[in-house]
Structure 1
Amino acid sequence: MTNKEALLKLEHFCAYQERCHDEVVNKLYSLKMTPDEIDAIVVQLIESNFLNESRFACSFARGKHRIKHWGRIRITNELKMRHISPFNITLALKEISSEEYETTFEQLSEKCWNGLQEKNILKKRKKFCDYMLRRGYESFLVYDKVTVLEKEFN
């Protein structure tokens, strides 16, 4: 594959949805490009604004929070896994307003607690906490919420 063909293919790849640098580099390696060719293509994509790590991080954070209802911890870890800079991670987390975050947390926690069929309160508490922590919400929020929900349950 020539550089021009690869560039066109990657422009389409990046235009379809926001991509991080890792995804683009992996795609280029799968196309059997050499490291020098990869560097040249990545530079061209950045210059033509097809590839923008800040834009990707912000879009990722907004989407994962609004659609999958992930918390800040999970979003941060996922962005770190994609080698996004700490500056861009901070920028991305600012995309989620504290009101929106609290509302999502409240709705998700109520839905989870009410959806658990467990009769044993200790098991129900553990399942709830595990679920909410896996979603990436801060432990102090989860444990405060579970104590409030337990009081309502009793």
Structure 2
Amino acid sequence: MDKPDKNFTSQREQQLAKIRHFCAYRDRCHAEVRSKLLEMKVYGDELEEMMAELITDGFLNEERYARSYVRGKFRINGWGRNKIIPALKLKKIHSSLIKQALNEIDEDEYLEHIKQVIDKKYASMTDGSGYEKRQKLIRFAMLKGFELDIIEQLIDEISD
């Protein structure tokens, strides 16, 4: 009777070590870790205990994840707020954490980035009327996740 408990414990220890490594590799959200644990066939109370242990030990932190995600998607991928927000919601991050994480983006840096994106696209455009160019610029910048009012303001500055 003692032996199965020992195997269970060692199996749990192995699973915990594996999921800790998974979390240590890069920041993860709760949904990713929960999915990975389910993939490892960890269910019910055991899953919840492991999640709680990961949170307690600092391997799992939704706020840290959201901040890191926002920084990465903005600085590395060049995404705007309107593209970052749904991506975080898809990962089941709470709205208040998303709002906090978006503060990682400096407003001046954000506006400068949008301006650079629009300037670069505008310089590469060769044909079309002023109206067509404007519409293409708006569409392009919105696909990057930038806000329409900011885009229009910056395009007006370029056009003048």
Q: TM-score, normalised by structure 2?
A: 0.86
What is the match of residue 50 of structure 1? 59
Correspondence 1:14-25 to 2 at 5 A: 14-25=23-34
What is the match of residue 101 of structure 1? 110
What is the match of residue 40 of structure 2? 31
Of the structure 1 ranges 11-20 and 102-111, higher mean CA displacement relative to structure 2 is found in 102-111
2-side partners of 1:113 and 1:39: how far apart?
Answer: 52
Q: 2:29 is matched by which residue type in structure 1?
A: C
Of the three residues 145, 154, 158, the one matched with 1:145 is 154
RMSD: 1.7
- Quick one: structure 1 residues 116 and 23, their matched pair in 2 at CA, closer, same or farther if it must change by over 3 Å? farther
Q: Indicate whether 1:76 and 2:78 are aligned.
A: no
1-side partners of 2:71 and 2:87: how far apart?
Answer: 13
Q: Indicate whether 1:89 and 2:98 are aligned.
A: yes
1:109 Cα deviation from its structure 2 partner: 1.4
Of the three residues 126, 129, 142, the one matched with 2:138 is 129
1:4 Cα deviation from its structure 2 partner: 1.5
1:77 Cα deviation from its structure 2 partner: 1.5
Point out where structure 1 has 5 or more consecutive residues left out of the alignment.
none
What count of residue pairs does the alignment treat as equivalent? Answer: 151
Secondary structure in 2 aligned to 1:102?
A: helix
1-side partners of 2:80 and 2:67: how far apart?
Answer: 14
Point out where structure 2 has 5 or more consecutive residues left out of the alignment.
1-7
Q: 1:84 is matched by which residue type in structure 2?
A: I
Q: Indicate whether 1:119 and 2:131 are aligned.
A: no
Q: Indicate whether 1:10 and 2:10 are aligned.
A: no
2-side partners of 1:37 and 1:128: how far apart?
Answer: 52
**Identity in percent:** 34
2-side partners of 1:107 and 1:141: how far apart?
Answer: 13
2-side partners of 1:117 and 1:82: how far apart?
Answer: 40
Secondary structure in 2 aligned to 1:78?
A: helix
Q: TM-score, normalised by structure 1?
A: 0.89
Greater radius of gyration (CA): 2
Of the three residues 63, 72, 89, the one matched with 2:72 is 63
User: Conserved in 2, the CA contact under 8 Å of 1:3 and 1:41?
Assistant: no
